[in-house]
Chains A and B, each alone.
Chain A
Amino acid sequence: MKRLIYLLPLVLFLVLAAYFAVSLRPNHDIHELPSAMIEKPAPSFDLAGLGETRPFALSTLKGHPFIIASWCVPCRIEHPLLMRLAEQDHLPLYGIDYKDRPEDGTRLLATFGDPYRQVGMDRDGRVGLDFGVYGVPETYVVDSTGVIRRRFVGPLTAETVDKDILPLLKQLDQS
């Protein structure tokens, strides 16, 4: 019996090694998870509006291609670009205030302008989790049938907007 105790470390290690082996199985990369959302229906959500605004639910948006973005302090880089998209290109932008205090979100929009048609408040980050967000800002292009078509990680740049988003939206509009 006493000898068995000395076997315990080995047994525990072998169990651990088995887990490691399973995690290494091919076609399994945890970094790839979010891209699995592409060409899939966007996860349904029903969020309270930011501050005093209307509630924001996926179901109310069917029929329009739109963009969902989230923001944060470093996301201020892309903010002027979002303003341009909303004001010059009249793109339907929708925001999700992700893991943030409502007053901070409101203040940011008050300071820099509000490019969004509607903003949902995702205080505990649940919706972000459903979308597979792992770093903000992230931007998703969702088509009129509610399917995610593209995902952009990090601040948008003028180049991605001109070469990627605008042509994609034009194509979505035509089809």
Chain B
Amino acid sequence: MITELGHFALILALFVAIIQSTVPLIGAARRHLGWMAVGRSCALIGFALTALSMLALMHAYVTSDFTVINVIQNSHTDKPLLYKITGVWGNHEGSMLLWVFMLSLCAAAVALFSDNLPPALRARVLAVQGMIAVGFLLFILLTSNPFLRTFPPAPNGQGLNPVLQDPGLAFHPPFLYLGYVGFSVAFAFAVAALIEGRVDAAWARWVRPWTLASWCALTVGIAMGSWWAYYTLGWGGWWFWDPVENASFMPWLVGTALIHSSIVVEKRDTLKSWTILLAIITFSLSLVGTFLVRSGVLTSVHAFATDPERGTFILLLLIVAIGGSLTLYAIRAPALKGGGLFAPISREGALVLNNVLLSCGCATVFLGTLYPLFLDAVGGPKLSVGFPFFNRTFAPMMVPMVIAVGIGPMLAWKRGDLLGALQRLWVAYIATALVVLVAFYVTYGGPVLAVLGLGLSAWLFTAVLTEFAERIRLFRVPFGDSVRRTIHLPRSAYGMTFAHLGLAVSVAGFAASPWAQEAIEILKPGGTISIAGYHLTLEHVDRVQGPNYTADDASIRVTNGEKFVATLHPERRFFPLQQQTTGETAIRTNFLADLYVALGDSDTAGDWTVRVYWKPLVPWIWIGAIIMAFGGAVSLSDRRWRVGAAARAFRRGPQPAPAAGE
């Protein structure tokens, strides 16, 4: 009964979305306020209906309703409650429902927090969101319905893939989808602006908070996914250039370009058609990512049960959504007139450089990901493009970008003084040189690239702090004045500082990876492994009973010289239902380095394969990502996004550009 309610709610949501995508659009064209207002109510009703549908499916999972095919295929009575709930999106159908739920959440948020938007723009934005919802609701209802029943009911379910039975499943997909789908708002704003033929500072100011929020969610989502892979897969890697990872990374790269180029639109009233294009591409890449994951055209560790019929449907969706919006772009964008002119060396120039590098980086990832598909389509050999390609092409492109991130914010708008900025960064040169020298001395004979990477991180870190010190005129005005400036600095300035610092922290984490050490040994109880000054002793391995698995739990005593450090407990879990074994790694971190232990198989003689990794600075990768997302959130709390501020600024026209270090 409840399942049918969920099903009907989803069908109703489809009809509401059809109304949402048509009536407000006609209303906006005819300037009929009543028709425009329909968009708002539809978005809210649509959200309520999809939420109901989501809850209904959750109910089926929690109560283990084995008349529902989706529950049979992905759940089991023995599964802990957390995984009964998160298992809802641990499969194709449920995750599409989560996707649509997030989409309706975004539409409802636009409907609620858009009082300062002109009614016509709001109506058009909501209509575009409605169209996306129609596409995906149709997709779910026609090809991937999670509410289908079967009779007679199954005695029990087939359980969830053991790899997914991890708390990571509770957070990683929702954040990732919120990020993916959140970019639909920027997309809808871009399409609405193309329909109206007008892009101005006010538009940029409205769209920016939505872009920032989705960017934060995507940053967190990707970081969590990477961390999850790191602690679950058991060989210490944190990024695999897997097609599906790339599918989430590409919108992130272009989305990052978008949040920077929309600053230029807002402050300087230029780069308009480029920003619109970025908004379209960001969401298009989210859609392409969905296509790649669900259609099975590329092999990936994330492969869902794939089905060519679904692939065809999503491809049609892509052609309508991306093809349609790019056609509109081709027609309307030439008419968008740029405003402010600027010299190549200027804040705008630096942001353009950022955009160029990020877009080229994304293009590289795109080519690397899809090259096997292109080659295969023309009958070429089967191959996959791995680490070497990405490390040789993507990484070198990001080096100049990280260097430029340090300099860009020091340049004034319109025309900057590069030499002056470089002179004011003297602290950063000293810090970089010091870090490089010390690192080179400490790791003499080791990988040189890692040393340079660490220098890059030090450069960015100190350059960002220098820029901040300039803003508050530290040591130039009395200290009290600096404190006052610190307090009155806009939140967006803080946001930028945090985000760039976060990047510096992550870069250090990436750079240090060549220093990692690993040791693989076959140990009897009592045997030891030594790595990076630690001694690990396998004390004993116990058989432990979990809720739906049995585990071999190893007790590994870690000492550093004579000093006891910790006892680590890596596990090997055997899930009898799926006849599958998973590893639970044990990680001891002091935030400077991780000691990472994974338990391998045992042989009949009672020997255990134990893998140990020592990974310096690896936690910084995710700490940096969290700082970046935090920076985004701080920027999001800037008061100029809130009610009124945008409208006032709109009357005044584009704000005069604040000079660097103002």
Contacts and interface: CB of A to CB of B under 8 A. Distances in A.
Interface of A: 2-3, 6-7, 9-10, 13-14, 16-17, 19-24, 26, 29-31, 33, 73-74, 76-77, 79-80, 111-112, 134
A139 B195 CA distance: 60
A24 B295 contact: yes
Interface string B191-211: 000000000000000000000
Contact of B297 (A7, A14, A20, A80): A20
Interface string B273-292: 10001001100100010010
A24 B312 contact: yes
B377 interface: yes
Contacts of B382: 30, 33
B318 interface: yes
Residue with the highest number of chain A CB atoms closer than 10 Å, among B298, B374, B377:
B377
B315 A21 contact: yes
A31 B280 CA distance: 32
A22 B308 CA distance: 11
B333 interface: yes
B601 A24 contact: no
Nearest to B310: A24
Nearest to A2: B334
Nearest to B379: A22
Interface stretch (B181-189, B323-331, B435-443, B526-534): B323-331
Contact of A9 (B288, B299, B315, B326): B326
Contacts of A33: 382
Nearest to B284: A13
A76 B297 contact: no
A128 to B, nearest CB: 13
Given A9-B281, A19-B373, A76 B600 contact: yes
Q: Main SS of the interface on chain B?
A: helix
Nearest to A8: B330
Contacts of B662: none
Contacts of A30: 296-299, 376, 382
Given A6-B273, A13-B322, A17-B323, A23 B376 contact: yes
Nearest to B336: A6
10 contacts: A9-B329, A10-B326, A17-B323, A19-B373, A19-B377, A23-B373, A30-B297, A31-B296, A112-B603, A134-B299
B329 A111 contact: no
A85 to B, nearest CB: 15
A33 B601 CA distance: 30
Contact of B315 (A17, A79, A112): A17
B330 to A, nearest CB: 5
A77 B601 contact: yes
B323 A13 contact: yes
B277 A9 contact: yes
B522 interface: yes
Contacts of B489: none
B311 A73 contact: no
The 6 A-B residue pairs with the shortest CB-CB distance in the complex, in nearest-first order = A10-B326, A23-B297, A22-B377, A7-B330, A6-B330, A24-B311
Contacts of B281: 9
B376 A74 contact: no
Contacts of B326: 9-10, 13
Contact of B334 (A6, A26, A134): A6
B427 interface: no
Residue with the highest number of chain A CB atoms closer than 10 Å, among B299, B311, B600, B601:
B601
A76 B327 contact: no
A2 B334 CA distance: 8
Contacts of A9: 277, 280-281, 326, 329-330
Nearest to A7: B330
Contacts of A26: 308
Interface of B: 273, 277, 280-281, 284, 288, 291, 295-299, 308, 311-312, 315, 318-319, 322-323, 326-327, 329-330, 333-334, 370, 373-374, 376-377, 382, 520, 522, 600-601, 603-604, 609, 611
A6 B319 contact: no
A141 B471 CA distance: 72
Residue with the highest number of chain B CB atoms closer than 10 Å, among A9, A29, A33:
A9
Given A9-B280, A17-B318, A17-B319, 20 more contacts: A6-B329, A6-B330, A6-B334, A10-B323, A10-B326, A16-B288, A17-B315, A19-B370, A20-B318, A23-B373, A24-B308, A29-B296, A30-B382, A31-B299, A33-B382, A73-B520, A73-B601, A73-B609, A76-B601, A80-B603
B312 A73 contact: no
A31 B295 CA distance: 12
A24 B373 CA distance: 10
A10 B600 contact: no
B319 A80 contact: no
Residue with the highest number of chain B CB atoms closer than 10 Å, among A6, A20, A29, A33:
A20
Contact of B603 (A6, A74, A76, A134): A76
A134 B383 CA distance: 11
A26 B312 CA distance: 10
Contacts of A3: 330, 334
Given A17-B323, A31-B299, A112-B603, A10 B330 contact: yes
Given A20-B297, A30-B376, A74-B601, A10 B312 contact: no
A30 B288 CA distance: 19
Contacts of B603: 76, 79-80, 112
A74 B604 CA distance: 14
Contact of B522 (A14, A24, A111): A111
B333 A6 contact: yes
Contacts of B611: 73
B285 to A, nearest CB: 11
A80 B323 contact: no
Contacts of A14: 323
Given A6-B273, A10-B323, A10-B329, A19 B374 contact: yes
A25 B377 CA distance: 10
A132 to B, nearest CB: 9
Contacts of B370: 16, 19
A23 B297 CA distance: 6
A23 to B, nearest CB: 4
Nearest to A12: B326
Contact of A20 (B273, B280, B291): B291
B319 to A, nearest CB: 5
A43 to B, nearest CB: 14
B582 to A, nearest CB: 12
A35 B603 CA distance: 31
Contacts of B600: 73-74, 76
Contacts of A10: 323, 326-327, 329-330
Nearest to A108: B522
B650 to A, nearest CB: 27
Contact of B377 (A6, A23, A74, A111): A23
Contacts of B330: 3, 6-7, 9-10
A9 B377 CA distance: 21
Contacts of A73: 520, 600-601, 609, 611
A25 B94 CA distance: 26
